[in-house]
Structure 1
């Protein structure tokens, strides 16, 4: 019943009790209805709450077409375009992205070692090192940078999160200070690991 007339707030309840009082008064028995069944029956009989909305018979496909058309006109939820870029959410996003990328690289390499040993394909660390050494220098440094920077960033940001777990650097200044420290450490150690 509540779903028919909307959520009952205090004003609606007062209106209902006033209407129920006037209806019972007009029927020459002056009593205030306190029973919820009586209020419900009055609401069902009251013309003010009945609706006469015409309905149209449609097929499922027509309903789907109408739904798709409505969804096209629906405003989209706020997304990254409306927010001003801030260090906090950018670093949080990249922490997750680098974690997924590092896990993907780890599992790919592990599954490759497992599959080649099962299929008797000659693939081991010596094969990997010799294949890497045969690449051009520019490509070697690029591959090392692709591995080093996400690794250092994810590790340094993980230490930052551990600091937060201990309740340290949780102020806005502390969050930004540790964020810039993580970026500096990533730049320094990532560059070092790329060129060693």
Structure 2
């Protein structure tokens, strides 16, 4: 925009200094292309519309010409979709959980809660085995998945394992390692 304005200004100054040059521009034989381009005019037909009519008609025409993108439902689901979504979800759950627990830990002395390690360990020790196991799996599953999938992404950042076969294979490896290590941590 600024360059266009500079060219127009310089052409006007040139035309003011040398009026014969613009006459050459109208003939078109020896004129530079910029002078020919500036000397051409096109008539424009306009129609007076109210603001709401103009906006609505423009939007309607744009929507009619807009291409329709295919939706995910026409594609076959792949493991990479699920793992990508799960990686984001587990990251949000873990970070949100750490923030909530951190805020609760800071507010606990003011409110009278006992969130010290000793009181938490005593409370969990009193739970039945099935409840402890379920709670440990509930905590360890998103943590181990996010950690293993994060390592997978770091490996991708090096440029290796980027073929379709390797991506699928590493996805199933991440799921297997997640389940195995989560069960191991829950049984400890």
Q: TM-score range by the shorter chain?
A: 0.5 to 0.7
Instruction: Report how far residue 184 of structure 1 moved.
Output: 0.9
Partner of 1:36 in structure 2? Answer: 34
Instruction: Report how far residue 67 of structure 1 moved.
Output: 7.9
Partner of 2:166 in structure 1? Answer: 174
Q: Given the superposition, is the C-alpha separation of residues 30 and 100 from structure 1 closer, same or farther in structure 2, using an over 3 Å criterion? A: closer
In the alignment, is residue 123 of structure 1 matched against residue 114 of structure 2? yes
Q: Given the superposition, is the C-alpha separation of residues 35 and 69 from structure 1 closer, same or farther in structure 2, using an over 3 Å criterion? A: closer
Instruction: Report how far residue 92 of structure 1 moved.
Output: 1.8
1:26-175 equivalences in 2 (<5 Å): 29=27, 31-42=29-40, 44=41, 49-58=42-51, 78-117=70-109, 119=110, 121-124=112-115, 125-132=117-124, 139-175=131-167
Do the aligned residues in 2 keep the contact of 1:152 with 1:189 (CA within 8 Å)? yes
Q: Mean Cα displacement is larger for which, 72-81 or 155-164?
A: 72-81
Aligned residues: 163
State the alpha-carbon separation in 2 of the partners of residues 191 and 38 from structure 1: 78
Instruction: Report how far residue 75 of structure 1 moved.
Output: 6.9
Instruction: Report how far residue 167 of structure 1 moved.
Output: 4.0
Q: Mean Cα displacement is larger for which, 125-134 or 79-88?
A: 125-134
State the alpha-carbon separation in 2 of the partners of residues 159 and 91 from structure 1: 13
| 1:162 counterpart SS class | helix
State the alpha-carbon separation in 1 of the partners of residues 58 and 136 from structure 2: 50
Structure 1: gaps (5+ residues): 2-23
Instruction: Report how far residue 147 of structure 1 moved.
Output: 1.4
State the alpha-carbon separation in 1 of the partners of residues 114 and 82 from structure 2: 38
Structure 2: gaps (5+ residues): 2-22
Do the aligned residues in 2 keep the contact of 1:33 with 1:39 (CA within 8 Å)? no
State the alpha-carbon separation in 2 of the partners of residues 108 and 163 from structure 1: 31
| 2:51 counterpart SS class | coil
